[in-house]
Amino acid sequence: DARTKEFVRRIENLKQEMRAIILAHYYTVPEVQDVADIVGDSLALARAAESTEADVIVFAGVYFMGETASILNPDKLVLMPDDHAGCPLADSCPTEEFRAFKRQYPDALVISYINSTAEIKAESDIICTSSNAERIVRQVSEDKRIIFGPDRNLGGYVMRKLNRKMILWQGYCYVHEAFNWEVVKSAVEAHPGAELIAHPECREDLLQHADFIGSTSGLLEYAGRSSSETFIVATEPGILHEMRKRSPQKTFIPAPKDASQPWSTCTQMKQNTLEKLLRCMESRQPQIVVEESLRQAALKSIRRMLEMS
């Protein structure tokens, strides 16, 4: 509509004026994805934030994403449309409790999912994302114990894949936890020939039945190259926008959620509206800044991930 068009026009102008780059995650609303310079999974967005030559990074995602961009780029202005858009998975791992957890296994190496706070990253040896978790764990010698957090589903997935035990923090993402096989099975049965594709943040019972498991970018690529015509997609449905854009002839069906679960969309990601995106560029607020000693500590584990993947 006219209002959207006007927002987009002003955002495009500001982008030039400010020498800004807009990064957006696949779970944001379609109109935000469409105005972004780069839409990607967590790893691609962290890499883009690391390598950009823009003066300003505008991050449409959840807080840990803007925070990671700021950790990688202390000299750039990092803005978010809404700095209250947190990730409940990241927030399910309080620093003091995690420290106490670590103290139980003093010899263990700590690998944390990028969906974590800067404080947890500072407590970690290596960061990973859903697209490189397996590759990173594979590089750790067999005799080393590993603490993995905060997502127990991604951790469990890597454990089964590599046939290797890890000590898991019991966090989960409410969006992905809402899918289970009992309910998703009916959708698979209703669409003969459809493939079930799932994010590794999903529960084990669902992953066991998936035809393909991958990060958001991994799911997108798979949906593009597979010869199937129909896909049941078990992740946040924001990804369907790009799937349909890339493969308009194929059918993408969001996996149904369990009736007992309140959400299978990420309400925090959806807080990034086009209007807030424009306002944050106009006002250069809210800025994401990480205190320097914390930033240095968190940067080490992020750098290690970037070197290892």
Q: Residues comprising the binding site for iminosuccinate?
A: 25, 42, 113-115, 130, 199-201, 216
Shorter beta-carbon distance to ligand 13P: residue 14 or 29:
29
Angle between helix axes 2-18 and 274-283 (nearest 10 degrees) is 30
**Residue in 33, 42, 70, 116 binding ligand 13P, rule: CB under 6 A:** 42
End-to-end CA distance of the chain: 42
Q: Which alpha helices (DSSP H) does the chain contain, by range?
A: 2-18, 30-35, 42-51, 63-72, 88-91, 95-103, 118-122, 133-138, 152-162, 174-177, 181-190, 204-207, 216-225, 240-246, 274-283, 292-308
Q: What is the largest CA-CA distance in the chain?
A: 61
- Asked if the peptide bond before residue 200 counts as cis, ω within 30 degrees of 0, the response is no
Q: In terms of CB distance, is 41 or 67 closer to ligand 13P?
A: 41
Using the contact rule CB under 6 A, the part of the chain among 125-133, 134-142, 155-163, 183-191 near ligand 13P is: 125-133
3-class DSSP string for 90-128: HHCCCHHHHHHHHHCCCCCEEEEECCCCHHHHHCCCEEE
Q: Which amino acid is at 250?
A: K
Type of residue numbered 28: T
Out of 33, 41, 180, 281, point to the residue binding ligand 13P (CB under 6 A): 41
Residue type, 159: M
Interaction of residue 52 with ligand 13P, rule CB under 6 A: no
Instruction: List residues binding ligand SF4 (CB under 6 A).
Output: 27, 62, 87-89, 115, 173, 175, 236, 266, 268-269
Q: Is residue 129 a contact point for ligand 13P (CB under 6 A)? A: yes
Could you tell me the smallest distance in angstroms from the CB atom of residue 163 to ligand SF4? 26
Nearer to ligand SF4, 88 or 286 (CB): 88
> Which helix (H) or strand (E) is 1 found in, with range?
none
The option from ligand 13P, ligand SF4, none interacting with 129 (CB < 5 to 8 A, set by class) reads ligand 13P
In the block, tokens 């991050």 appear at: 59
Per CB under 6 A, which of residues 139..178 are in contact with ligand 13P?
A: 173
Report the C-alpha gap between 151 and 138 in whole angstroms: 18
215 binds ligand 13P (CB under 6 A): yes
By a kind-dependent CB cut-off of 5 to 8 A, residue 88 interacts, out of ligand SF4, ligand 13P, none, with ligand SF4
**What's 50's DSSP letter?**
H
Distance CA 118, CA 239 (A): 26
Interaction partner, residue 239 (ligand SF4, ligand 13P, none; CB < 5-8 Å by kind):
none
Is 180 one of the binding residues for ligand 13P (CB under 6 A)?
Answer: no
Site for ligand 13P in 224-283 (CB under 6 A): none
Show Cβ contacts of residue 64 under 8 Å, excluding neighbours closer than 6 positions: 86, 87, 90, 114, 115, 116, 117, 118
What mask, x for binding ligand 13P by CB under 6 A, covers residues 87 to 116? x---------------------------x-
Q: Which stretch binds ligand 13P (CB under 6 A): 7-15, 47-55, 94-102, 127-135?
A: 127-135
Give the shortest CB-73-to-ligand SF4 separation in angstroms.
Answer: 21
Q: Which residues bind ligand 13P (CB under 6 A)?
A: 41-42, 87, 115, 129-131, 173, 199, 201, 215-216
